[in-house]
């Protein structure tokens, strides 16, 4: 038996306004809540039981898990107050069934990866490590936790979100998946917030524990920002990122009840949500359109998220933007890189029509 803990209690602030009503792991990605991709992938690689460590909007998880059969036992633990990553891992201890020396997997709830999960557990046991971390390499590691290792794959340091150039000593980062010897979880303090990255891991190094880092250069993405969220969704639809929850890959995924005009173009792994509509001449490339949203004639949408029930008028150009649930974007608006439209906002139509100028 292999047990896993999925940390899903964060507030997802970088994905606001989408995360105001829906916690990040419950946002729809390639047709299902993101957490389903992680849970089914863990299931297919030998995990038999998953404890969801929830905090922010815990009832949204509970309702969904109660109503679903994901082919694996899923248990929900909820913190009264957010306890941080380490505190959340300690908080689920009473919910675990593993013995003191057995391995327990821990996953951040926003990671899409092709990691060999069974291989990580095997290496952890072969090296008799106290904790093993899955590491990946990225070009710009500043937004992550840096984890240098020595020739024996022992971790030498933890540098969470480095602030100065001198701290950037490696391109290896914490990829958000760990194996803990269960007894190590017992030693995390209770009753107060604890950061696993800033407190638990450095403390283990100081105490001489065996902390191993295993680099895997396969597919990896943290869906924490709007652009990464869109990329992850598109990679799943295109089949670049692996998930048992995507039945058929291709240029686009159109969910039940959506209406797509015959001359509209959907490319780059775009998802169109249930009962959404895309009008004549519209082109949507690499985007996520949530359920019940409407895209007007000749609008061009790229690298963007259109929230549930949002209405995009005709002739709009939307690139790199997040449109909140139920927002109305009048005809002819141009919304570019980084723009966020709050849920329910109403942007009137413009007198100048961008999309027709720029064809």
Residues near ligand GDD, by CB under 6 A: 7-10, 53-55, 79, 82-85, 88, 108-111, 144-145, 160, 173-176, 197, 222, 224
Q: How far apart are CA 65 and CA 295, in angstroms?
A: 31
Minimum CB distance to ligand GDD smaller for 160 or for 315:
160
Minimum CB distance to ligand GDD smaller for 55 or for 129:
55
> 344 is in the binding site of which of ligand GDD, Mg ion, none (Cβ under 5 to 8 A by kind)?
none
> 10 is in the binding site of which of ligand GDD, Mg ion, none (Cβ under 5 to 8 A by kind)?
ligand GDD
Give 217-257 as a DSSP string.
Answer: -S-EEETTSHHHHHHHHHHHHHTSS--TT--S-SSEEE-TT
**Cβ atoms of residues 323 and 305 within 8 Å:** yes
**Cβ atoms of residues 286 and 236 within 8 Å:** no
**Contacts (Cβ under 8 Å, ≥6 apart) of 101:** 181, 182, 183
Q: Which residues bind Mg ion (CB under 5 A)?
A: 110, 222, 224
Angle at 338 between CA 336 and CA 342, to 5 degrees: 95
Minimum CB distance to ligand GDD smaller for 7 or for 306:
7
User: What is the smallest separation between the CB atom of 306 and Mg ion, expressed in angstroms?
Assistant: 23
Strand partners, 289: 272, 306
User: What is the smallest separation between the CB atom of 355 and ligand GDD, expressed in angstroms?
Assistant: 35
Minimum CB distance to ligand GDD smaller for 83 or for 293:
83
User: What is the smallest separation between the CB atom of 110 and Mg ion, expressed in angstroms?
Assistant: 4
CA distances from 8 to 34, 57, 62 (A): 11, 10, 12
> 145 is in the binding site of which of ligand GDD, Mg ion, none (Cβ under 5 to 8 A by kind)?
ligand GDD
Residue 254, CA atoms < 13 Å, CB-side half-sphere: 15
Q: In residues, how long is the chain?
A: 359
> 7 is in the binding site of which of Mg ion, ligand GDD, none (Cβ under 5 to 8 A by kind)?
ligand GDD
Minimum CB distance to ligand GDD smaller for 51 or for 331:
51
User: What is the smallest separation between the CB atom of 69 and ligand GDD, expressed in angstroms?
Assistant: 23
User: What is the smallest separation between the CB atom of 328 and Mg ion, expressed in angstroms?
Assistant: 31
């Amino acid at each position: 038996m292999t047990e896993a803990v999925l940390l899903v209690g964060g507030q997802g602030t970088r994905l606001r306004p989408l995360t105001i009503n829906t916690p990040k792991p419950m946002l729809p990605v390639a047709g299902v809540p993101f957490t389903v991709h992680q849970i089914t992938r863990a299931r297919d690689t030998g995990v038999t039981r998953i404890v969801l460590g929830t905090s922010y909007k815990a009832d949204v998880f509970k309702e969904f898990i109660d109503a679903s059969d994901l082919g694996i036992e899923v248990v929900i633990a909820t913190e009264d107050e957010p306890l941080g990553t380490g505190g959340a891992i300690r908080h689920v201890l009473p919910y675990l069934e593993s013995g003191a020396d057995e391995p327990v997997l821990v996953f951040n709830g926003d990671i899409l990866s092709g990691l060999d999960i069974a291989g990580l557990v095997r290496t952890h046991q072969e090296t008799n490590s106290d904790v093993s971390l899955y590491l990946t390499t990225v070009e710009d590691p500043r937004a992550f936790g840096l984890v240098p290792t020595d020739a024996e794959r022992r971790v030498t340091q933890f540098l969470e979100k480095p602030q100065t150039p001198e701290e950037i000593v490696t391109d290896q980062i914490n990829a958000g998946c760990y194996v803990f010897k269960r007894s190590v979880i017992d030693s995390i303090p209770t009753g107060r917030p604890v950061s696993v990255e800033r407190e638990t891991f450095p403390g283990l190094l100081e105490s001489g524990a065996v902390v191993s880092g295993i680099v895997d250069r396969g597919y990896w993405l943290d869906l924490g920002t709007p652009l990464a969220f869109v990329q992850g969704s598109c990679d799943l639809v295109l089949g670049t990122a692996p998930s048992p929850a995507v039945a058929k890959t291709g240029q686009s995924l159109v969910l039940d009840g959506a209406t797509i005009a015959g001359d509209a173009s959907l490319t780059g792994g775009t998802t169109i949500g249930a009962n959404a509509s895309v009008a004549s001449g519209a082109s949507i490339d690499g985007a996520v359109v949530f359920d019940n949203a409407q895209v007007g004639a000749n609008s061009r949408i790229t690298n963007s998220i259109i929230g549930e029930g949002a209405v995009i008028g005709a002739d709009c150009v939307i690139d790199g933007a997040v449109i909140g649930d139920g927002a109305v974007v009048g005809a002819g608006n141009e919304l570019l890189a980084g723009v966020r439209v709050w849920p329910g906002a109403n942007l009137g139509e413009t007198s100048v029509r961008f999309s027709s100028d720029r064809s």
